[in-house]
Amino acid sequence: MGLKLDNDWHLQPIDGDTGQAFMGIRAAEKVFIKRNTSPFLAALSREGITPKLVWTKRAGNGDVLTAQEWLDGRVLNENEVGRYQEVITILRHLHHSPSLTNMLKKVGGKEISAFDLLLHYAEDLPQALRDNTYLTKVFRHLEDHLPSFDPKNYVAVHGDTNHRNWMLSDTNQLYLVDWDSAMLSDPAVDLGCILGRYVPMEKWSAWLVAYGTTPKKEVMERIHWYGTMHQLEQIKVQYRKRNFKKMNEEILILKTNYNYL
């Protein structure tokens, strides 16, 4: 495992996290431990957006470990995300908080533009996806219609607001977790993932009003752009995992978004 703490801590790897996350147990104490996570986590914990930060330590191999309170609960399912009011509340809080944006800047958060996301997708793209005429068509469309958003207005964004990163505790408290993709960018990055995957298009306007944004044409187009970009990236992720069933499901969602564009 390559990870050592004090002798009285027992670390149990959490399935499916490629050796980055652990359940830490010491006597009756239980915490969620992750290595080399974003230093932005402390500010998010103070704001109540993510579970309480308990401690930060440096392991013997140089890794920085963060421990958060262990909460029994579950992730939101795909049918819940779009209609859960607290999802809107948390994203509104995150995107409209100057202190969180300033803190992310202080800890080295990177500014990521729409063009940067295109470059990231194209980097090391498997040949089979390069040869797919439909995916290429979508990519070229996004390339030709980059959304306009002034970098001076970038805010702290999560970067991957899929349903697996929304945790509902047994006490009915909702948290947004896994901040490894946090960046300074257009808030439509997060909104595109949520609306493009989980909210029927006829409900977008009401959802955005509740979030605090007027659903103007320019806003809707930016959200569609980022939602489509997110789908391309997810197709790449699933292809690399060789999960072709899931990849084809992602392509179907992509087609819904792209048909609007």
- Give the whole-angstrom CA distance, residue 206 versus residue 213: 10
Whether the Cβ atoms of residue 118 and residue 138 lie closer than 8 Å to each other: no
Distance CA 187, CA 51 (A): 22
Question: For 9-47, b where at least 16 C-beta lie within 10 A, e where not — what string?
Answer: bebeeeeeeeebbbebbeeeebbbbbbebbbbbebbbee
**Exposure string (b/e) for 138-156, b if CB count within 10 Å is 16 or more?**
bbeebeeeebebeeeebbb
Cβ–Cβ < 8 Å for 97, 59: no
Triad 181, 186, 190: Cα angle to 5° = 55
Q: Is 160 tagged catalytic? A: yes
Q: Is 191 helix (H, G, I), strand (E, B) or coil?
A: helix
Amino acid letter for position 233: E
Catalytically annotated residue among 6, 63, 131, 160: 160
Q: What's phi and psi for 167, nearest 5 deg?
A: -110, 125
Residues with a catalytic annotation lie at 160
